[in-house]
Structures are given as structure tokens and as C-alpha cells.
Structure 1
Amino acid sequence: MSSQQQAVEPPLDTTTVNRLQGNMGVGTLAMSVLAFSSPLATVAGTMPVLLMFGGDSAPAIYLIMTAMLLIFSVGFVLMSSRIKNPGGFYSFVTAGLGKAAGLGGAFLALVGYLFIGYFAPVFFAVTMSSFVVNTLGGPDIPWYWYALVIIVLTTYFAYNRIDLSAKVLTIVMVLEVLIIVVYDVAAFTHNVSTGAELSVSMPRPSDATFGLALLFAIGNFFGFEATVIYRDEVRNPARTIPRATYLSVLGIGVFYAATASAYVAFFGADGVQSAAAADTSNLFHNSIVLLLGRIFADVMTVLLITSTLACMLSIQNIAARYGFSLARDRALPRALGRVHPKHNSPYLSALAVGAVWAVGTVLFAVLALPPEQLYVVASGSGTFSVLLLMFIASAAVFVYFLRQRRNAPESVWRSLVAPLISSLFLGAVTIIAITNFPELVGGSGAITVIFMGLTFALFLGGFIYAWVLRSKKPDVYARLGRQKY
């Protein structure tokens, strides 16, 4: 930092009253991460797509992804011990690649999570409407009313202290995990009772669908970055963050690999891919009906609805904290950086996220756009933004520790080799995402051009904005990415 920047940099508020606060431990933090992936929505929605592309190699794909993201976590955790700020990838990219890249990464994160999160109210609305009409025999209420209700509900929880959200997420996650475990046991039991051989295969990179299978699998792991974002809101962050990070990645990977194996056990290694292709959207529901009965399937649907709420709440909390971090650095309106005097939460930033989703819902309702298409486009484009950010962050970790070799050398494996491996892997997956973007967003060439262009424009826009700040507001530029209070 130059002497001029130091001279104009304003004093920072170090009072605890002005800080985010919470009391999350390893378990509740890991559950908040698991909620992001929405286990039931993953098992019922994303996993059949993965099976359609990967067939009986889906369990192995999850394990490969787990191994690679554990390698990513090595540098991630080491970086968290050096950059003790709650800015997530924003702080990491700034430390490794500079303020302009950091601001571009922050914009990717904020908009990416806003997009991913918007899939939830729309998906909730479609699922809830179908359940009310087809199962309960109730009225056919327009989808946007359901969407607005869940936006208000999650915004209420996000407005309050993080511990309230953590309790809600933990309860919902326990119920979700239990019902999926019951399904797994029933599927494996069915396999044993029929005397069928249970076998899974290794993926073949030469297959045309291998890249798409990887792409859909990695999205199930998003959200473990939250372990760093909540630094000020957990007990003993030096211990809690590393443990929760590794537990989240390993737990998600093994859990989904086991459930993918259950699918293979029920449909058979030779039949699971064709079954997933023939009935992608209803594969989980129909197999539950066959294994456990319709009542159990109805219970699953109710938990799928609560799972969507938990997923949306987890994403809203993360997006709110990115907005909060940017506001604290004066890159966004300062009001978004306010801390609630009672709940110690980023309440105005949480309200802003809910307001963006609500305005989007009203706008799409007025335009009469089909909700089924909305959540596919929102989820796919948001996933691409976060994937690109993870690649940039991994490269930033490598560059940061490469620069630090002379002054404070760390383990070569932790600081250089692991970040380099994860950078190469995530770079390859990013290229796959670019070449298969239409499948990711489920849209036409026009949608591909618009949303892919928007993603890269966000990162480039961060560079341009940072350069403007450097020239016009050097005091704001000096703050970028530091997130000290």
C-alpha cells in the first residue's frame, strides 16, 4: 500500500457493537453449508441429471469431486489462517491478485449467489402449488404468491441473529438427512432381496457426457465458503473454520456418493442411466413410492418444501454478508454495512437481498414468464459465476503463497502444490462449463450469450470500478478487501 493511500485511509471502527456476532460451532456451521446444497432438492433434482449423464459412474464422480475439493480446502483453510477477514473469496482474491480482481470477484459472488438463490422461491412455488392442488386438493394459487411468502419468511430469519438461522437449518437438515438415509437403506435392501449384483463403474473421461457429469456434481458442493464468511459469528474460528470446512466437503461427498449408489442399487447398473433419462424429474419420487409407499412420498414432498426454504435461507445469509462486506469497504452504499444493535446481523443487507428477489418475482409475474424455466436459468447462470470465482480464488491462493515464500514460507504441499492442483482442476471444469453453457442454463443461444456475457462483465466491471475508485476515491480503494472493523 502506498504512503498516499495510508494517509487518506479513514480510521476503522473496532468496537464490538459494530461487528457481526454469533455463537455457531462446528456442527451448526457444517449444517449451514449442507443446507446450501439442499440435500433433498439435490437427490430429487440434480442427481437424476447426473445419473442421466454419468450412469453407474455417478458415485465415483462424487468421490472424485470430493477428493479434488478436499485438495482445494487445503489451501483454502491455510489462507483463512492468514487472511482473518469475514470477506470470503473477496478477501482471498484481493490478497492474492490485487484489489481490482478482488472487487471483480466480489461482484461475481454477490450476483452469483443472488441468481442461485432465486431458483429457490420459484422452485418452492412450483413444488408447493403442485402439492396443494394435486395432493391436498386445494386451490390453484398463482406461483408468485408462494414465492413472495417464502421470500418474506427467509428474510425474517436472515434479518435476525445468525444463531436463529443456524437452529432452523440444523433442524431441517437432520430431517432431510434422515429421510434420504431411509431411502438409501430401502434401496440397498431391495437390491439384496432381489439378489441383483451391486456394481458401480469408474467414469471414462473420453465419454462425451463426462464433463457435464462433473459440472452438475460440483454444484452440489457450493456453499462451503460460508465457513470463512461467518468468521465473526462462530466460536473459536481458528478451530471451527478448518474443522467445519473439511467436515462439510467430506460429508457432502460421501453422503451423495452413497445415495447415488442407492439409485444404482434400485435401478441396476445397466438400467439407471436409461431410467434417469426417461423420467428425470420424477425419478426420486416414483422410486420412493415403489420402495416405501405413497404416504412416505408425500412426507418427502413436505420435506422437499422445507429443504428449499433452508437452502434459500443459507444462500440469503451468504449473499447478505457479501453485500455487507462490500458496503463496509464503501464499494456499495454504506447503509448495507450496518449491524443490527440487538441481533448483531447485517440486517439491511439481508433486507436488500430479499427485496431484490421480491422485485424479480413481481417483474417475472407481470411478464408472465414460466416459472419452470426461471429457476433453471437462475440456478445455472449463478452456478457458473460461483464456479468461475472458485477458480479465480484458487489461483489467488497459489499466487499469494508464492509471493510469501521468502518472508513466511509454509508447507509446500499446503501453500503451493494443493492450490496449483485445484486451480488446474477448477480451470478445466470452468472450460467445460463454458462449452456446455446451454445445457447448464437450459436455454437457447440467446440466453447463453446474455448470461455468459453478464458473468464476465461482472468481473470486468469490478476491475473498472476499482480503477475509478483508485483515481477518484483513493480512501475507498485503500479499504477494498481488508474488511477490518
Structure 2
Amino acid sequence: MSVLAFSSPLATVAGTMPVLLMFGGSTAPAIYVILTVMLLIFSVGFVAMSRHIDNPGGFYSFVTAGLGKPAGLGGAFLALVGYLFIGFFAPSFFAVTMQSFVAGLNGPDIPWYWYALGIIVVTTVLAYSRIDLSAKVLTVIMVLEVVVIVVFDVVSFASSGGEAKSLSLAMPALNDPTLGLALLFAVGNFFGFEATVIYRQEVKDPDRTIPRATYIAVVGIGIFYAATAWAYVAFFGTDGAQSAAQHDPVNLFNTAVTALIGKIFADIVVVLLITSTLACMLSIQNIAARYGFSLARDRALPRALGRVHPRHKSPYVAAIAIGVLWAAGYVVCALLGVPAQLIYPIASGSGTFSILLLLFIASVAVLVYFVRERRVRRESVWKTILAPAISSVFLGFVTYVAVTNFPELIGGSGLLTVIFMTFTFALFVGGVGYALFLRAKRPDSYARLGRQRF
């Protein structure tokens, strides 16, 4: 449920999926199927690696094991800042949605930044507590979201009257110039599944739980989004889905829901979109807190961030620190007069690029690790060589597309592109440099990086 909350089903269906339809049109369902297959292949090596790296560092530990401690610390900085950026988009998105909802009820005109600060307080309190409390909250919200989207899917397919053209699965052409962008925007909808390994010390029987959660998450998210993209195509038609998305991507889902089911159901969707944003933000804060916790335990960050709550058993200091950082960022944005609508595309796009780059680096690290360990660990060639190699090529292609189309990803100008892309690569290079500094000046801290046994 934490993984599903990260992907924020309702926010994805209402916000990101129309962008995918703009580029992919009627091929959007097939694009989700292709991504599901490719990320399942990535998960094969990912899960195999998780059985050998017995700590909660996630990609930080994986990259360290495969490519060395300097690269591992660079990957950790990408993960931590990437998740912080992705999470930073949520309060502004929540604030804009709440403002519109309250205005529709003739409520008070509250500045957007108060809504943003309010949701930060709520998620920080939940992240401070035991992970099972967050899981219970996320489960309730996710079930409600899934029910609403399934109702939309069923009614949309029923309204198509079984028209074969609208219900056919159109495959994208390899020479389609928009295919790369469609893959880029769709792959971000799966993010969060890779974070299953960071809960290793908090779950029962991790050797069974983590692989099961990872595969269920990838398959579940893929099928769920493919079906909903198909429902869009069924409602708007094969030829009309892309043009409708290009004409009004912001209100595409609301338009379809209102026409199919009615205004009351559309209002319920808005309420759930608000709670969906809260769930997404809570999931991200939990993940980022655990990356901060792992880095602090390895003495790459202040040791206070590595404290565990005596009763809740949560990395509560790291969770609070993230909440304080987000709140401080929004106070600065409010004082500078930055519009809320400008914050979330830049924050989510920059964070998405960081995590995508990390996925590619981790896939290469898994391949290198198993090639190096081949003589010692006699495991399936498919799990340890072929699957990581295939996923490395695929994720390398999507990363290349992200680099060449970064302005579209963040919805920004050339200057913003240079600033945020340079910052992203500087994170990795800076992590490598910091690790080399630790090796020279603080060898005891360097030895702890990744908490590897070799």
C-alpha cells in the first residue's frame, strides 16, 4: 500500500495520464504493458540482489555493493534529494486543489501556503509514528481511490457499447517520435516499487515479504493503469483520446467522470484527490526518512538523523527533519511570491529525473555485482546476468530521453533546465567526491558506507 500510495493512483489518473495520452494517444494502454514487462525484468535482478544485501539502505546499498562506496554515496544523495523533490511537489498540488474545492463550497479564501504547511504537519506526525499506523492510513485511502477508478473504468467500457475499435489494444510504433516522451512520463507512475527494500528491518520474514511486495506492486500498478488508460480511450474513442488530452489535459478526467457518472461522483473524486495527495506525500516522507536514517547510521549525515524512536521504532528524527525542510522551503516560496502552480511541475520533474537516473545506475550495479560474484554465487544466469543487462539497456534509453527532453519534464525554460539538470548530476558527483574525502580524512566513516561486510 505504501508503494501504491507513492504512485498516487487518483493523482496519476487525473494528472499524469492525460499527459501520457497527449503523446501516446490510443497506444497509452500498451505503453503501460510494455513498462510493466520491462520493470518486472528489472525486479528480477533487484530481488535477487536484495537477498544478498541484508540491510535497509536500498539503492544506496545496492550501488555500493556493485560499483563501490563512492558511487554508492553518490546514488544515496540522488535518492534522498530525488525523493525530497518529488515530495516537495505534493503540498503545492494539495494547496491548489484545496483552494479550488473550498471556493466551490463558498468557503473562506485562505492563502495556498497555509494549506501546504498544514499537510506537511499532518504527514510529519504520521511519519513520526510506527510504520503500521502509516500503513493503515494508506490502506484506507488507497482502497477508496481504487474503488473510484474501477467504477470509472467499468462505466467507461460499458458506455463504449463494445465497439471493437475503441476496445482494441493499439501498439506504439518504434519510429514514433513521441514514444520516448510517452515512456518517460509513464515510467514515473511506477516509482515507489523500488523502495520496498528499505523496510527490510521493519517487516516480518523480509526474504519472502520484499520480493512478494515488489512483484505485486509492479504487476498491480501496471495492469491498473493500463486498464484505466484503456478506459479513457474507450470513452473518448481511438481517434479522440489524444486530441481531447491535448485540448484540456487538466480537466480530462473530471470531464469524463461528470459525463459518465454525474456531478456528485465528480465531487467525491475531488475529495479523494485531496486525500490521495496526502497519501502520496506520506509514502514519500517515509521513504526519504529511511534513506536519511541509513546515511546517518553510516555517519555520512549527522548522527542524530539515525535515531530510532524507543516506542514507535521509527526514524523519527529523520522524518521530522524532512518535514522541517519542506516547511522551510514553502515559507521561502511564500515570502518570494512564487506561485504554487510553478512549484509542482519543477519539483516533481526534477525528482523524477533523479530517481530515473538512480534506477539506471542501480541496474548497472546489480549486473556488475553478479558478474563479479559469478564464481562464488552459482545462481540463475537469467536472474543475475540477462535480466539486469536487459533492464540496464532499457533504463539507459529512457534516461537518455529524459536528458534530451528535460524542459518538457519540468515544464520550464532553458535556464531552469540547465540549473536543475546540472544540480542533479552534481548530486552524484558530489557524493562521489564526499566519499573520497571520507576515505582520506575519516576512514572509519568511509568503512561504514553502505554497511557492506566486504
Tell me the TM-score range normalised by the shorter chain: over 0.9
Alignment counterpart, residue 65 of structure 2, candidates 95, 102, 117: 95
- C-alpha distance in structure 2 between counterparts of 1:421 and 1:122, whole Å: 37
Alignment counterpart, residue 350 of structure 1, candidates 319, 343, 365: 319
Q: Does 1:157 align with 2:126?
A: yes
Q: Does 1:294 align with 2:263?
A: yes
Alignment counterpart, residue 400 of structure 2, candidates 428, 431, 439: 431
Alignment counterpart, residue 58 of structure 1, candidates 20, 24, 28: 28
Where does residue 47 of structure 1 map in the other structure? Answer: 17
| Cα distance per residue 1:78-126 (max 9 Å; x no partner) | 0000101100000000000000000000000000000000111110000
Q: Does 1:369 align with 2:338?
A: yes
| Compared CA separation, residues 437 and 223, structure 1 to 2 (3 A) | same
Task: Give the SS at the match of 1:225.
Answer: helix
- Superposition deviation, residue 195 in structure 1: 8.4
Q: Does 1:111 align with 2:81?
A: yes
| Compared CA separation, residues 83 and 197, structure 1 to 2 (3 A) | closer
Contact 1:226 1:318 in 2 (8 A): yes
Where does residue 169 of structure 2 map in the other structure? Answer: 200
- C-alpha distance in structure 2 between counterparts of 1:200 and 1:51, whole Å: 14
Task: Give the SS at the match of 2:420.
Answer: helix
Q: How many residues end up aligned between the 2 structures? A: 453
Where does residue 464 of structure 1 map in the other structure? Answer: 433
Task: Give the SS at the match of 1:114.
Answer: helix
| Cα distance per residue 1:279-303 (max 9 Å; x no partner) | 1000001110000100000000000
Structure 2 counterpart of 1:182, one-letter code: V
- C-alpha distance in structure 2 between counterparts of 1:166 and 1:483, whole Å: 29
Where does residue 216 of structure 2 map in the other structure? Answer: 247
- Superposition deviation, residue 265 in structure 1: 0.2
- C-alpha distance in structure 1 between counterparts of 2:166 and 2:354, whole Å: 41
Structure 1 counterpart of 2:88, one-letter code: Y
| Cα distance per residue 1:282-330 (max 9 Å; x no partner) | 0001110000100000000000000000000000000000000000000
- C-alpha distance in structure 1 between counterparts of 2:328 and 2:53, whole Å: 36
Task: Give the SS at the match of 2:108.
Answer: coil
Alignment counterpart, residue 222 of structure 1, candidates 180, 186, 191: 191
Aligned-residue sequence identity (percent) comes to: 72
Where does residue 308 of structure 1 map in the other structure? Answer: 277
- C-alpha distance in structure 1 between counterparts of 2:168 and 2:375, whole Å: 50
Contact 1:335 1:348 in 2 (8 A): yes
Where does residue 77 of structure 1 map in the other structure? Answer: 47
| Cα distance per residue 1:23-57 (max 9 Å; x no partner) | xxxxxxxx110000000000000000000000000
Where does residue 4 of structure 1 map in the other structure? Answer: none
> What pairs with 1:118-129 in structure 2 (closer than 5 Å)?
118-129=88-99
- Superposition deviation, residue 409 in structure 1: 2.1
Q: Does 1:185 align with 2:151?
A: no
- Superposition deviation, residue 227 in structure 1: 1.1
| Compared CA separation, residues 467 and 371, structure 1 to 2 (3 A) | same
Where does residue 419 of structure 2 map in the other structure? Answer: 450
- C-alpha distance in structure 2 between counterparts of 1:101 and 1:194, whole Å: 53
- Superposition deviation, residue 200 in structure 1: 3.0
Question: TM-score when scaled to structure 1?
Answer: 0.92
- C-alpha distance in structure 1 between counterparts of 2:166 and 2:99, whole Å: 40
- Superposition deviation, residue 139 in structure 1: 1.4
Structure 1 counterpart of 2:4, one-letter code: L
Specify every segment of 5 or more residues in structure 1 that has no aligned partner in the other structure, as ranges: 1-30
- C-alpha distance in structure 2 between counterparts of 1:186 and 1:271, whole Å: 18
Task: Give the SS at the match of 1:387.
Answer: helix
Task: Give the SS at the match of 2:187.
Answer: helix
Structure 1 counterpart of 2:6, one-letter code: F
Question: TM-score when scaled to structure 2?
Answer: 0.99
- Superposition deviation, residue 387 in structure 1: 0.2
- Superposition deviation, residue 198 in structure 1: 2.3
- C-alpha distance in structure 2 between counterparts of 1:310 and 1:197, whole Å: 33
Contact 1:328 1:483 in 2 (8 A): no
- C-alpha distance in structure 2 between counterparts of 1:433 and 1:113, whole Å: 17
Task: Tell me how large the CA RMSD over aligned residues is.
Answer: 1.0
Alignment counterpart, residue 388 of structure 1, candidates 354, 357, 376: 357
- C-alpha distance in structure 2 between counterparts of 1:68 and 1:196, whole Å: 27
| Cα distance per residue 1:361-389 (max 9 Å; x no partner) | 00000110111111000000000000000
- C-alpha distance in structure 1 between counterparts of 2:307 and 2:166, whole Å: 59
Q: Does 1:417 align with 2:386?
A: yes
Structure 2 counterpart of 1:57, one-letter code: T
- C-alpha distance in structure 2 between counterparts of 1:352 and 1:286, whole Å: 40
Where does residue 477 of structure 1 map in the other structure? Answer: 446
| Cα distance per residue 1:109-151 (max 9 Å; x no partner) | 00000000011111000000000002x1111111100000000
Specify every segment of 5 or more residues in structure 2 that has no aligned partner in the other structure, as ranges: none
- Superposition deviation, residue 197 in structure 1: 4.4
Q: Does 1:137 align with 2:116?
A: no
- Superposition deviation, residue 205 in structure 1: 2.2
Task: Give the SS at the match of 1:158.
Answer: helix
- Runs in 1 of length 4+ with deviation above 3 angstroms? 193-197
Where does residue 408 of structure 1 map in the other structure? Answer: 377
| Cα distance per residue 1:231-284 (max 9 Å; x no partner) | 011111011001110000000000000000000000000100000000100000
Task: Give the SS at the match of 2:51.
Answer: helix
Instruction: Tell which deviates more after alignment, 98-107 or 230-239.
Output: 230-239
